[in-house]
Amino acid sequence: MTDRPTKDAWKKLAEREIKAPPDTLTWNTPEGIEVKPLYTAEDLEGVGHLGTLPGFEPFLRGPRATMYTGRPWTIRQYAGFSTAEASNNFYRKALAAGQQGVSVAFDLATHRGYDSDHPRVEGDVGKAGVAIDSVEDMKILFDGIPLEKISVSMTMNGAVIPILANFIVAGEEQGVPRALLSGTIQNDILKEFMVRNTYIYPPEPSMRIVADIIEFTAKEMPKFNSISISGYHMQEAGSTLVQELAFTLADGREYVRAALKKGLNVDDFAGRLSFFFAIGMNFFMEAAKLRAARLLWSRIMTEFEPKKSSSLMLRTHCQTSGVSLQEQDPYNNIVRTAFEAMSAALGGTQSLHTNSFDEAIALPTEFSARIARNTQLILQHETGVTKVVDPLAGSYYVEALTNDLAEKAWALIEEVEAMGGMTKAVATGLPKRLIEEAATRKQAAIDRGDEVIVGVNKYRLEQEDDIDILEIDNSAVRQAQIARIERTRRQRDPSRVEEALAALEKVARSGEGNILAAAVEASRARATVGEISDAMRRAFGDHAAIPEVVGNVYGKAYDDEPEFQTLVSRLEQFAGSLGEKPRIMVAKLGQDGHDRGAKVIASAFGDIGFEVIAGPLFQTPGEAADTAIVSKVHVVGMSSLAAGHKTLAPQLVEALKAKGAENIIVVVGGVIPRQDYQYLLDHGVAAVFGPGTNVLDAARAVLDLMEGKRRNQ
């Protein structure tokens, strides 16, 4: 019998196979974690979490002892379609087909606390989710869905008060008391200030809203999760997994402190806190991230000295990545989502949403949503993954990754703590800047081909076929919503509404009383989402962020590469003939706050040599035209992620013409179906850059347009 081979023996064998030292196979992740080609028991020496069991502190192996062997994760598909009627129809079909909970996506007008008849949201109503203007919409949304039995998750932060108030009243009028309502409200405003940007009020009053909701639900809604602390949007904005993990848990710590300041006992609410993480394509690291999250949350909660063990548990919902979805060769997205779903299951999620393959360009169709839902059903029923608790436990690689992620995330959490906590860190802009730098580095790696995306920067199809997409008639939805608002206003008691809104504003101004409790009364009187939001706007004011652009990140990734330097030189020559740097304004129109693409473009174009003006969020086409004219830009690049491009881009072109600035070139980039390109070109847009466009290619095309315009002048 031969002796067991040593690691040195393996190294010699590996070196013969690859004709190089095996250390050359080491991979440095974006998180700064060194991933080796071989892991052994030596890599786990000193790792303290080994030997723990699921259901026991620190819950690394799962919050429940039996995990999926006793009950699989909840299949909860996130969806919202234009009107309450359309969404209700989708939910009822999905529940009949095996979905186990409802997860509501709201349109952008609702997110920002505007009624559908507000002039600022003409291009946003019914786009990217369902429009909710009052209790009447909410009642239709859940018609025929028994709220005492079905758990409802609502992704809402900015207008969280009127939406939750409407839900409570809709339940009451369905005959379900608030104490029996189950589900989750996201209510995670710190993340909004960092990445997603669907905020309304400044940070301090926003944190008060969070605390009031935690207080109200702890006392009145024992089955309802008062907050879903979200890292999902951080990863979607470009964060590394360490940043997602650290900033999410630091947010959670801040919310616990806010609740304690309300005089609550930690055990009265800690068990109703939940988390929400993205699951991307780094398969093993994503599973390890969820395990590390439970370990670190238990550590954080210990400092608040809870008496209940359950107060130390991290429970989480997960969603497969939206950023990993690609427009090119889109059926590949089905495979990506399946791998991400498996990773979430192996990491121990409590519920899961799987994205549909067409969501890189539009809302999902019934066909694509069925595939996404069946992905989870197949995972639960056909793969055997639910037969064993934490099947990755003891893996040398996964346990080492879990430990590495926990250590790096804890170091970042402590850095935030040294700044005075997450609210103060957010105020400095540190988390936002770090995430934007990470996003820009990732885009540079993709553009260079260092990170392979199948069908995008490698193995591309010669000819892309169009796929069927769900298109929303924005104007028809808006008119229907306006008609319902007008009917609701005619039928309600005006004096009762006025009294309820005045009482709400008084609670908001004085700091005495609970904001959600006051909003429930206003909702019951049929005050609209916009009216309730405006009452709080009068008390708190609006938050307006100052856009900043990171620099020397995209260009640094290219160093002295000829392709990049050629473009830089060409731009310098054009600037010389122009007599100034070419100026481009990157504009975000409408109420879509997702600005990852806009920020990456602004940063990269700045490194290439353009003078970049970052337009503020939430502009109307007219406001963007004014900014462009005042800034004397040559090009406006409109970023579109929420299907408003067919409304907003032509309005921008017309606004520039009306102001005598038709010489300014308009280009559009973002989540735009290929079927819409010609429509935009026919309406005055000079070029369209769809998902997956290489930034250098986009910069060359913009420069071509500017040179062509100059030659023709």
Cα(373)–Cα(364) distance, rounded to whole angstroms? 12
354 within 8 A of 368, measured Cβ to Cβ: no
Task: Name the catalytic one among 232, 255, 397, 554.
Answer: 232
Residues linked to residue 613 through DSSP beta bridges, in sequence order: 585
CB 249 within 8 A of CB 296: yes
Q: Give the rounded distance of the alpha carbon of 479 from its chain centre.
A: 29
233 included as an active-site residue:
yes
Burial class of residue 203, CB neighbours in 10 A (0-12, 13-18, 19+): middle
Q: Which residue among 107, 137, 390, 592 is the active-site one?
A: 592
Query: Nearest Cα to 459, choosing from 329, 282, 321, 333?
Result: 329
CA torsion angle 576 579 581 587 (round to 10): -140
Using a 10 angstrom Cβ sphere, with 0-12 exposed, 13-18 middle and 19 or more buried, the burial of residue 100 is: middle
- Describe the strand order of the beta sheet including 583-588 as a list of residue ranges: 611-614, 583-588, 635-640, 665-670, 687-689
Given 49, 289, 594, 634, which residue is catalytic? 594
Active-site residue, selected from the candidate residues 543, 588, 599, 645: 588
Determine the straight-line distance between the first and last CA of the chain, rounded to whole angstroms.
86
Can you tell me the distance from the alpha carbon of 131 to that of 88, in angstroms, rounded to the nearest whole number? 12
Q: Is 592 assigned a catalytic role? A: yes
List 111, 118, 127, 233, catalytic entry: 233
Quickly tell me which residue has 């032509």 as its tokens.
650
Contact (Cβ atoms closer than 8 angstroms) between residue 683 and residue 654: no
**SS percent in the chain: helix, strand, coil, step 5:** 55, 10, 35
The pair of structure tokens assigned to 680 is: 């935009």
d(Cα 26, Cα 32) in Å, to the nearest integer? 12
Identify how many contiguous H helices and E strands the chain contains and give both numbers. Answer: 28, 16
Residue type, 114: Y
Q: Is there a catalytic annotation at residue 317? A: no
| Cα(276)–Cα(289) distance, integer angstroms | 12
> Are the beta carbons of 106 and 426 closer than 8 angstroms?
no
| Structural contact between residues 92 and 140, judged by C-beta atoms closer than 8 angstroms | no
Task: Label residue 220 exposed, middle or buried (CB < 10 Å: 0-12, 13-18, 19+).
Answer: middle
The tokens for 489 are 């206003």
Give me 668's structure tokens.
């559009």
Residue 232 annotated in active site: yes
> Which contiguous run of DSSP H or E holds residue 711?
helix 695-712
Cα–Cα distance for residue pair 502/23, rounded to 1 Å: 68
Rounded distance between C-alpha atoms, residue 623 and residue 617, angstroms: 11
Instruction: Check: CB of residue 653 under 8 Å from CB of residue 628.
Output: no
675 dihedral zone (left: phi>0; alpha: psi -120 to 50; beta): alpha
Q: H or E stretch including 475?
A: helix 474-491
Annotated catalytic sites, by residue?
78, 232-233, 588, 592, 594
